A = this chain, B = another copy of it.
Amino acid sequence: MGEFELIRRCFMQAAQGPGVVTGIGDDCAVLQVPDGQQLVVSIDTLVEGVHFLPGTAPEQVAWRLLGAAVSDLAAAAATPAWLTLALTLPQADPVWLEPFAAALATRARELGISLVGGDTTRGPCLTLSAQVHGWVPAGQALLRSGARAGDRILVSGTLGDSRGGLETLLQPTPSNRNVDWLQQRFYRPEPRVELARQLRPWLQAGLDISDGLLADLQHVLDASAAGAVVERDQVPCSAALLNSYPQQAQEWALSGGEDFELCLAVAPADVAACMAVAERLGVALTDIGRFCAEPGLTVVTADGCPVDGLARGYDHFKEST
């Protein structure tokens, strides 16, 4: 089976959806952005052995790829629409490709995104780049800039779970309910698309937490020319993480990375409205501190003392190679 037939067979099933004029199979996909909406795009790469462990099941690769990519649309408060996939793999192996494509199609449907094009090539290392496309009413995309002194810092869900899930894979422990749940948080991130869309009217700035809370919050500070104070003990940790890794939970919640939760700037007067939306959607939303005029990012204890020596998140190129 040649390249063309392989791609056709595995990926055609996911090719239809709103706004798709011409999907997979031509030189380009032809797409219709609705009137009054702006296009929002982001591209993300996963490399085997760098972003996921060698031998990870194809379904888990598909979940993680889509979860991370669609989370960038949530970070812009956009509505997911279309996906393209650049897939590089050592060989065209149906034993890997078929379950990958099936999981991608299922998860894409759940996330409301349609595969409209791609490129499959041979290369020595399994590498996947997903570009996601969405739309947002003109002028209303959520950006990193716009946080103002006095705004509260809200985060969705619980933080550090993905790092905990990774730890259970690096240092395997007997399977139990906590371990299974943490691994699911690692493998199958749940982008906060609906939360971001419904909160959009009240959001001053925000992003999704992919490098770790402190590193990503610093991006908001840089873009907004603001400072921030985070109350360490308010940063939400799951019971599963606290039970499994009581010593590390707090550090991982601050710096673990790949949580794919939202970090948002909201005026104090709007916090209650945001909390009500989150409650209706069944997503935790926690006030963890405030933006301020003084530059810098400070983490404080419950009694207001600054905490020093915190790791500031993940940078691929600072790793030893």
Contacts and interface: CB of A to CB of B under 8 A. Distances in A.
Contacts of A318: 2-3
A121 B43 contact: no
B28 A40 contact: yes
A158 interface: no
A20 B76 CA distance: 15
Interface in A25-41: 25-33, 35, 38-41
A133 interface: yes
A33 B81 CA distance: 15
A50 interface: yes
A120 B51 CA distance: 12
Contact of A27 (B25, B50, B75): B75
A44 B86 contact: yes
Contacts of A6: 317
A119 B39 contact: no
B317 A76 contact: no
A195 interface: no
Contact of A143 (B26, B31, B131): B26
A117 to B, nearest CB: 6
Interface string A45-78: 1010111000000000000000000001101101
A50 to B, nearest CB: 6
B3 A133 contact: no
A136 interface: yes
Nearest to A71: B27
Contact of A319 (B39, B120, B122): B122
B317 A122 contact: yes
Given A91-B321, A124-B125, A317-B2, A28 B45 contact: no
A47 B86 contact: no
A306 interface: no
B28 A72 contact: yes
Nearest to A2: B315
A86 B86 CA distance: 9
Given A32-B38, A86-B45, A317-B6, A123 B122 contact: no
Contacts of A317: 2-3, 6, 91-92, 122
Contact of A26 (B27, B31, B35, B76): B76
A30 B28 CA distance: 20
A239 interface: no
Interface in A105-152: 116-125, 127, 129, 131, 133-134, 136, 138, 141, 143-145
B44 A119 contact: yes
A116 B40 CA distance: 11
A244 interface: no
Contacts of A76: 26-28, 30
15 contacts: A22-B141, A25-B144, A26-B223, A27-B208, A31-B41, A32-B138, A43-B84, A43-B117, A43-B118, A45-B119, A84-B131, A92-B317, A121-B316, A124-B124, A125-B125
